[in-house]
Structure 1
Amino acid sequence: MEEIIRRQKRTKRFNDDFSAELKKRQEKEALIRQAEITKQKYIEQNGNPDVVDWDIDTIVGTCQDLEKNYLRLTTAPDPSTVRPLHILRQTLELLKRKWTEEQNYNYICDQFKSLRQDLTVQRIKNDFAVEVYEIHARIALEKGDLGEYNQCQSQLKQLYKLGFKGNEIEFTAYRLLYYLHTLNPKDINTLISELTPEQKKHEFIIHALGVRSAIANGNYHKLFQLYLNPPHNMACYLMDHFIERERIKALKIMTKAYLTLSISFITNELGFDSEKECINLLNSVRCPIKKDRNKEYINGKETHKIFLKKWQEITKKGIDIKGQI
């Protein structure tokens, strides 16, 4: 009798294990089938078979973790690994606090990319999504990460068009400064033509248009005044990406107009933080610096060809465009 009971227990345990394993296998097969269906739908719409469009099949996440590392999706997302909107709101508050306290960009960038991914796979487009992309864009600008900034900016452009609330004027000004960085006159003119009279009165837009005008007219004095006195710090972070180029251009003009240029004058005129920073730039292009009675200067006639050649190299090389928007 006892042997029969033991056999029945073993049989039940085996059946339970088998049922659990069968359920796991069926769930995995269902995910694979769903991924193939999604991929096939995209191919039928003349898409790239190697790029899956998750907008076709939207999911609602169930993950409760506030922090989650970013992983590039190659198959259909599992709802158990995706955070729903109310959890994402808590995640954003956590990330804002951690950025303020720790300033760990690698961690913050990874977490924001994961947050953005969860928004994307659930097709969440609202004011909260705008806030997420704006915050990540500002952090990326502060750390000089144009790639991540542009990914955020491209999404913000679409969200603003859909009518969601955010800081559209601020990011329109950033976009204009970015186009100045990439020397993209077509996009600059298109953006300016789309500005409303009201937008043109805003200090952020006035500043960006002033930068554009100064560069177009070769007014380096005005340009560096705008660089040193922006209406907001983020404008400086974007201008940092093209300010050295404009300093070379200015020196090309100045060395043709002046017989001699003191280091102190160049430092003040071109918005350097210190004479040391100015000298570092001159040394980087092998510009000879002379000294007379403890006053350092460069000879305009002797050095003009150096800056002319450097400017030609810059314009010929072009700009490394990251995450074009």
Structure 2
Amino acid sequence: MPTQIKAVGTTEARKPLEVMDIARRDLQPDDVQFQVLYCGICHSDLHQVHNDFGGSSFPMVPGHEIVGRVTAVGSDVKSFKVGDLAAVGCIVDSCGHCPACRHDLEQFCEGEGGTTLSFNTPDKYMGGMTYGGFSQTYVCKEQYTLHVPESLDLAAAAPLLCAGITVYSPLKHWGAGAGKTVGIVGIGGLGHVAIKIAKAMGAHVVVFTTSASKVEDAKRLGAHEAVLSSDPEQMKAFASKIDIIIDTVSATHEVNAYLNLLAIDGSLVLVGLPAEPLEVGAFNVVKGRRSFSGSNIGGIAETQEMLDFCAEHDIVADIELIKADQINEAFERLEKNDVRYRFVIDMSTLA
């Protein structure tokens, strides 16, 4: 019989979240079950709860930056045992046989039903929709469950399951490393982790921010240089000098100002999700053979690689740890960008 557990969710868009009962599936032979210890709060959780992109289904339990400890495993599970640390990010299933899946790109699954996400996508086992990590337990197929290195601070590691892989994947794909200059646009949940990872990869890191108060904080986080993007003279100094720009901004912004900073064959990679289209001037990409690209999280193998990389370089998110009864307040503050730099819920506080 499915197990009834406590979770925090909502029954309609923009309604405050509240404690509710949900069901987790019976353990399948290839399943890992774990107690949720910590779950990060991502901006996309807020978008889904508000139905900003359309298609949200209710009732909804958000949460896709999930870290916990294994409490049970199915009979066929080989790589986890009870007591191990485990984690789940955005992806909990995919078709497994399409070209994307065969190349460890499950985030781009083209099979029937596409990628199954950790919440708010059709649940193949229980019917209805998947429920996320704002909950006491989680059950996931072994193939999509991640190992958390013991050396990482568990609460601060939770945001790596989305924010970390979202910036690690494009930094790796576009070749960040020694001899490359990487620009980071925006210092928030994604941007502050991108600074740490890009620096650990050996790149020269330049941060662009609209907030004067964050210029010094960018250097504390590891940036070699920080630019106030509202100052034309500071921006001009970096014209045609940046090899890779990771654009983390989810609001409408003037992207051409950053395209003009790219060196020959440079790429601007959008990982933020502005609700409105961005206008790109043709000359800003034609000149210098520049590229305007996008990236979306990463596959399971790459996410595990990212966790191991972060453990090796002692990288975690800067977090504000909250209790379960503070989630609505955290969502309100997140909407105002009032967090440095990621809320994480201590799920032991969900009675």
Shorter-chain-normalised TM-score: which range? 0.3 to 0.5
**Does 1 or 2 have the higher relative contact order (CA < 8 Å, sep 6+)?**
2
Using the size of structure 2 for normalisation, the TM-score is 0.32
Structure holding more strand per residue: 2
Structure with the greater alpha carbon radius of gyration: 1
Structure holding more helix per residue: 1
